[in-house]
Homo-oligomer: A and B are copies of this chain.
Amino acid sequence: MGNKVSIGLLGLGVVGTGVIKIIKDHQEKLVHQLGSDVQVKSALVRSLDKERDVSLEGTLLTTNPDDILNDPEIDIIVEVMGGIDQTREYILKAFSTKKHVVSANKDLVALHGPELQEAARKNKCDFYYEASVAGGIPILRGITEGLSSDRITKIMGIVNGTTNYILTKMDKEGLSYDVALKQAQELGFAEADPTADVEGLDAARKMAILARLAFSMDVDLEDVKVKGISNISLDDLKYANKLGYTMKLIGNADFKDDKIEVDVQPTMLAKNHPLASVNDEFNAVYVYGDAVGETMFYGPGAGSLPTATAITSDVVSVIKNMLLGVTGSQHLDPHFDKQLKTADKRFGQYYVRLHVKDEVGVFSRISALFNDLNISFKRILQNPIIKDENAEIIVVTHQTSLENFQTALNQLKDLDAVIETKSYYKVEGDAEK
């Protein structure tokens, strides 16, 4: 590598231009840390003619990936092009020619992380992807290094900025879901097609990556149960507030008795929970370790410069490893065989909102149904406002198994007094009275 490290960029969108900008701006600091110049030698683009928001002096643009992947002078590939199948091929090729790879691609890492890790290890290459989870927050380092000697038993994350922005606006300003989504789109916090964000898939990808690292297990994307936010009504937010909770889209990964569960779902968090005050487009990851107890990492989950910062910090780690001759050494095989919890071992508290007939004895029948399943109530709200001659009942249960809770939901359908189960959500923590 001499006294110059050359980087090849795959992709030159907002994050790619951010990487070029940060490396240029911090050249002096990088030289101080590393003793060598760091240069983006070339970048793979779709169009050579497009106007770019950064000076490209010293960087060659090309539409041919081989110009980068076959360039023997290039030491590190930074992949910010997105996509899955073709990108996977490029990265595998990079490893085969002994190039290190830094990626921000959560879709790819969630789906093919173990395979890519293995290819990197075989070729003594580094493969880092801090930017793939929670943008500018150095959470993967926090888990793999900072808490390396602890046993992490729980991770809860607000890992999608779009949904957190929408829920914050609904909660604080009373906007409807549709209006809040539109606002998020106008501000660039949501895509034109917001499905992957609002249906929880983006968060699921990040939770798969987090769970894999935290629990040292081959967690697959399909192991993550997902429920999105598109059906949340302002009524539920109002009741959540009344009960001392805040609604957040929470990614939850839990490890107990050698078994795990990973899911993403709208969750009513007690307002005194550290995650409850994470608002707008911010992200945060709450980590519970046996010894350390509660920790939380907070910051911007996306954005050109925060993401580019995480990428450049990964590049710095790779260069340090190159200088020390220890690339490829950070990869570990998973320590544990994956075992998923079955529904009878997944425990939680639940909020349920029911529309019921306004007649005598209704509540006692509902109460008996839950009671027969050993589910007891922690809070009960009977809505004094009666709509269309129906009444509304809201309960928050104590801990119960998911299996029991699903049985309760099924039995409620058959109960004549219940007109409709309007909504149900998982509840985390104890709200202050």
Contacts and interface: CB of A to CB of B under 8 A. Distances in A.
A50 interface: no
Contact of A293 (B18, B23, B306, B335): B306
Interface string A314-342: 01110010001010010010010000000
Interface residues of A, number: 55
A291 B313 contact: no
A145 interface: yes
Contacts of A277: 274, 277
Contacts of A274: 277, 298
Contacts of A303: 293
Contact of A32 (B146, B295, B310, B332): B332
A25 B290 CA distance: 10
Query: How many subunits of this chain does the assembly comprise?
Result: 2
B33 A148 contact: yes
Contact of A335 (B32, B151, B297): B32
A199 interface: no
A119 to B, nearest CB: 21
Contacts of A233: none
Contacts of A145: 138, 141, 145, 313, 316-317
Contact of A142 (B18, B142, B308): B142
A14 interface: no
Return the 8 tightest CB-CB contacts between A and B, nearest first. A138-B146, A149-B312, A295-B299, A296-B298, A136-B292, A291-B305, A324-B326, A291-B309
Given A146-B313, A293-B303, 11 more contacts: A25-B151, A136-B295, A138-B147, A138-B295, A145-B145, A149-B312, A292-B309, A294-B298, A294-B299, A324-B324, A324-B326
